[in-house]
């Protein structure tokens, strides 16, 4: 499975400001690019932090959807089954897979399982085991997975060497704030940083899109 991350950051690497709510960093041109990327993907993965903060529906625009059959599958990494039943990511626009951990409360898992269009994947770890989740997606025919954040999830995927490519639009604004989420959060690396090769630099409107390909564990 090909796994690529796409996000939008400020020039100082923030995904949002210290309110941790959805902020508009992408330009109209960048939204078009993101919509195309979604349309080319079999599934779109986010962390539950993004669901709770932004309530995204993760769908493709009508015009773009005409190029493919329906919307991509939506996927949420949600260890404790906290995705609200009225979240936009559970609407009837597409099927949704919710990956949960082994300690997720049974009643929350059952409520998600009973929700139309939702499939729950139970993984055997306290936090969602991302390899297990990705294997389950592969079993469902997902060959191209787009990850749309946030920073906690992106860090875990990088740490587990599960990312092939990381692309982000850098907006010409500085947000600042030590508590503002960044592109790669989590506990961070101390030794063994995630190394990548810069494969693309493209000016899009007033911003720039950077495309990195991650080096594999053996350094290639
Ligand atoms: N600018 C952009 O492109 C963009 C894109 C997305 C989000 N955002 C912003 O980013 C912020 C949200 O980011 P975030 O980092 O707080 O949330 P996130 O990465 O979306 O979600 C993190 C949560 O996912 C769950 N999770 C389950 N399994 C995990 C695993 N193996 N590794 C890591 N997390 C796992 C954890 O909660 P549990 O332990 O409960 O499972 C964790 O707290 C918001 O401010 C949002 O607006 C911006």
The mean per-residue pLDDT over the stretch 192-200 comes to 96
Does residue 183 sit within a domain? yes
Residues with CB under 6 A from ligand 1: 7-8, 15-16, 20, 22, 25, 46-50, 53-54, 77-80, 82, 127-128, 130, 148-153, 156, 181, 185
Q: Which atom of ligand 1 is nearest to the CA of 127?
A: 28
Residue 162 has a CB neighbour count (10 Å cut-off) of: 17
52 Cα: distance to centroid of ligand 1 (angstroms): 9
Q: Which atom of ligand 1 is nearest to the CA of 15?
A: 1
Q: Are 153 and 45 spatial neighbours (Cβ–Cβ below 8 Å)?
A: yes
Does residue 13 sit within a domain? yes
Confidence of residue 36 (pLDDT cuts 50, 70, 90): very high
Q: pLDDT tens for residues 136-192?
A: 999 999 999 999 999 999 999 999 999 999 999 999 999 999 999 999 999 999 989
Q: Give pLDDT, residue 218.
A: 66
Does residue 219 sit within a domain? no
146 Cα: distance to centroid of ligand 1 (angstroms): 14
Confidence of residue 219 (pLDDT cuts 50, 70, 90): low
Does residue 220 sit within a domain? no
Q: pLDDT tens for residues 90-126?
A: 999 999 999 999 999 999 999 999 999 999 999 999 9
Q: Give pLDDT, residue 177.
A: 97
User: In sequence order, what are the residues at sequence separation of 6 or more whose Cβ sits closer than 8 angstroms to the Cβ of residue 124?
Assistant: 102, 132
What's the predicted TM-score (pTM) here?
0.97
Does residue 66 sit within a domain? yes
Asked if the model's pLDDT at residue 64 lies above 80, the reply is no
Q: Are 77 and 3 spatial neighbours (Cβ–Cβ below 8 Å)?
A: no
Take atom 7 of ligand 1 and give the residue whose Cα is closest. 150
Q: Give pLDDT, residue 220.
A: 63
Identify the CA nearest to 182 among candidates 154, 201, 159: 154
- Can you give the CATH number for the domain in which 174 is found? 3.40.430.10
Q: Are 173 and 28 spatial neighbours (Cβ–Cβ below 8 Å)?
A: no
Q: Give pLDDT, residue 61.
A: 87
Strand partners, 202: 209
C-beta pairs of 197-205 under 8 Å, 24+ apart in sequence: 199/165, 200/167, 204/27, 204/29, 204/30, 204/33, 204/169, 205/27, 205/28, 205/29, 205/30
Q: What CA–CA distance (Å, rounded) separates 139 from 215? A: 25
User: Range of 96's domain?
Assistant: 2-214
> Total structural domains in the chain?
1
Q: Which atom of ligand 1 is nearest to the CA of 149?
A: 6
- Average pLDDT of the chain is 95
66 Cα: distance to centroid of ligand 1 (angstroms): 30
Q: Are 14 and 150 spatial neighbours (Cβ–Cβ below 8 Å)?
A: no
Q: Which percentage of the chain shows pLDDT scores above 90? A: 90
Greatest alpha-carbon pair distance for the chain in Å reads 48
Give the length of the chain.
220
């Amino acid at each position: 499975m090909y796994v690529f991350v796409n996000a939008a950051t400020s020039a100082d690497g923030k995904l949002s400001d210290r309110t941790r709510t959805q902020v508009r960093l992408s330009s109209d041109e960048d939204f078009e690019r993101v919509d195309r990327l979604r349309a080319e993907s079999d599934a779109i993965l986010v962390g539950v932090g993004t669901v709770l903060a932004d309530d995204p529906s993760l769908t493709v625009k009508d015009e773009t959807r005409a190029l493919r059959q329906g919307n991509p599958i939506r996927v949420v990494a949600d260890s404790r089954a906290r995705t609200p039943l009225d979240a936009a990511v559970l609407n009837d626009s597409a099927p949704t897979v919710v990956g949960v951990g082994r300690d997720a409360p049974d009643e929350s898992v059952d409520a998600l399982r009973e929700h139309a269009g939702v499939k729950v994947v139970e993984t055997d770890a306290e936090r969602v085991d991302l390899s297990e989740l990705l294997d389950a997606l592969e079993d469902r025919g997902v060959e191209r997975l787009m990850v749309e954040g946030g920073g906690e999830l992106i860090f875990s995927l990088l740490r587990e060497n599960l990312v092939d490519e990381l692309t982000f639009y850098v907006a010409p604004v500085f947000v600042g704030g030590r508590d503002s989420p960044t592109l790669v959060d989590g506990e961070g690396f101390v030794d063994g940083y995630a190394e990548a090769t810069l494969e693309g630099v493209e000016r899009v409107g007033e911003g720039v899109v950077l495309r990195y390909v991650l080096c594999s564990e053996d350094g290639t």
